[in-house]
Amino acid sequence: MTVITTRQTRTSRLRKKALAAALAPVLAFGTTSAWALTQVTSFGSNPGALQMFKHVPSSMPSNAPLVVALHGCTQTAAAYEASGWTALANTHKFYVVYPQQVSGNNSNKCFNWFEPGDIARGQGEALSIKQMVDNMKANYSIDANRVFVTGLSAGGFMTAVMGATYPDVFAGAAPIAGGPYKCATSMSAAFSCMSPGVDKSATAWGDLARSGYSGYSGRKPKVSIWQGTSDTTVKPMNMTELMEQFTNYAGVDQTADVSDTVAGYPHKVYKNSGGTPWVETYSITNMAHGTPVDPGTGASQCGAAGAYILDVNICSSYYIGKFFGIIGGSGTTTTTAGGTTTTTATTTTTTTAGTCYKSSNYSHVTGGRAYNSMGYAKANGSNQNMGLNNTYVITKLRKTGTNYYVIDNTCP
């Protein structure tokens, strides 16, 4: 099983770190996986005693995005590359960090999403994951406004943890077969949280998310939620509870603004007051417990089927990347909104282009198509870094939705 966990007794954080060191890593420092995954052995105090693996594509641009991908129980970092993130990073040029749990912390190698000492800001496994991000920022040119987190099962629950405890770090979160932050704060409660699930009001869930970083009033993460309708490990009601938590947290109502299908699967979008998609849900019909993938070479295909990596003809990593604004191109959908229409297809899509705007970054900002972030212009909606906010840098933007713009060099 992938999510049901058993936690070993830890007498101290020092002992926990010693256990992690004694349980030799799957990949030794300096070695690589089939897709060039490399371990980083020192990345901070690491109070959660986790392991860090990274993927760095060749020829990386400056100010590139970063995705943190959290595996499920019994999996490894290398195994979770099959979800498609490494291959997509090579194509679309972003960094990937794969945290890895060890059996010294949890006998099933589950992230401890239900342990109070591991899910609080500044503590345990949550802090270890944040320190991995800090390490990447210190060693590579990473856009701090485009750091994202995703994960499956226990990694999906931990994704919600990171979105609630470090909203100042993560611009987006994508839990797959996961559940709300603080759905459980003990192992016994975790079983009920996973199945049948815990029903709370949107306000109650939102308050729990806000407790992750009390007093914080800044940006909240965009959230993409994925769930199989036939999942008997983490029951489907968790998707609704997650939606309620992160819409309420971001000040978004719980009425879907878009209800459509993507690759034949029900998809809903919840927009903020500015009309920007902020929370979305994908309900994968008849899918059991796992990460959805669609192996192949098409533009929207990715992943490789395996244990808890399920070929259901839609690659979650690709569509999550699109939602985060770090993957360009078009996907399979029936949505018509904000000047962009994409037509339904199995693996490819034709797109009717939205309005193009070619002007200086300064003009884009003053024209309401972008915003200033520490001297850089960022496209509204996608948050793509356009370069310095001045009259000399010229950028082509395409409007793809209400107050949503992407960099598009194919514009005239």
In contact, 191 and 232? CB cutoff 8 Å: no
DSSP state, residue 375: T
Q: 3-state class of 250 per DSSP?
A: helix
Contact 126, 165 (CB under 8 A): yes
- Paired with 152 in beta bridges are 176
Is residue 246 a contact partner of residue 163, using CB atoms and an 8 Å limit?
yes
Catalytic, 153? Answer yes
Exposure b/e, 71-97, CB count within 10 A at least 16 = b: bbbbbbbbbbbbbbbbbbbbebebbbb
d(CA 231, CA 285) in angstroms, rounded, equals: 10
Strand ranges of the sheet holding 351-352, from the earlier edge strand across to the other edge: 336-337, 340-342, 351-352
Instruction: Evaluate whether 333 touches 262 at the Cβ level (below 8 Å).
Output: yes
- Distance CA(317)–CA(86), nearest Å, equals 10
Residue with tokens 């060099």: 409
- List strand residue ranges (DSSP E) for 272-361, in order: 277-284, 291-293, 309-311, 336-337, 340-342, 351-352, 356-360
User: Which is catalytic among the residues 33, 83, 128, 153?
Assistant: 153
Query: Is beta strand 265-271 parallel, antiparallel or unpaired with respect to 309-311?
Result: unpaired
What's phi and psi for 15, nearest 5 deg?
-65, -40
**Could you list the active site residues?**
153
